[in-house]
């Protein structure tokens, strides 16, 4: 797979489709989600871990899990600011 430049990601097909959403952070997350869906469908022979040198492949799972944990924490922090529509506001 060819490397993707930040400009290509910023103007990818997913970002263009959701460009009218108010919150830019949510727009970016939706675009990222589409890229994650593509990654999940990818052949394992085209993944970073496959191309990582043999003596470093053991580092890939920790890197992936560490970053996923950071994404979850930040997403929780972002979404916790907004009550769910079906939840009555605190009085």
The 3-class SS string of the chain reads CCCCCHHHHHCCHHHHHCCCCCCHHHHHHHHHHHHHHHHHHCCHHHCHHHHCCHHHCCHHHHHHHHHHHHHHHHHHHHHCCCCCCCCCCCC
Asked whether the predicted pLDDT for residue 18 surpasses 80, the reply is: no
Mean pLDDT, residues 80-90 taken together: 78
61 vs 24: which has the higher pLDDT: 61
Range picked from 4-13, 15-24, 62-71 for highest mean pLDDT: 62-71
Asked whether the predicted pLDDT for residue 16 surpasses 80, the reply is: no
| Token pair 């890229």: residue | 35
């Amino acid at each position: 797979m060819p490397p993707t430049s930040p400009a290509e990601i910023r103007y990818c097909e997913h970002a263009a489709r959701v460009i009218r959403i108010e919150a830019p952070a949510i727009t970016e997350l939706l675009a990222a989600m589409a890229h994650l869906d593509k990654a999940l469908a990818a052949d394992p022979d085209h993944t970073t871990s496959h191309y990582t040198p043999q003596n470093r492949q053991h580092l890939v799972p920790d890197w992936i899990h560490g970053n996923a944990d950071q994404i979850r924490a930040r997403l929780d922090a972002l979404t916790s600011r907004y009550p769910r529509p079906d939840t009555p506001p605190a009085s």
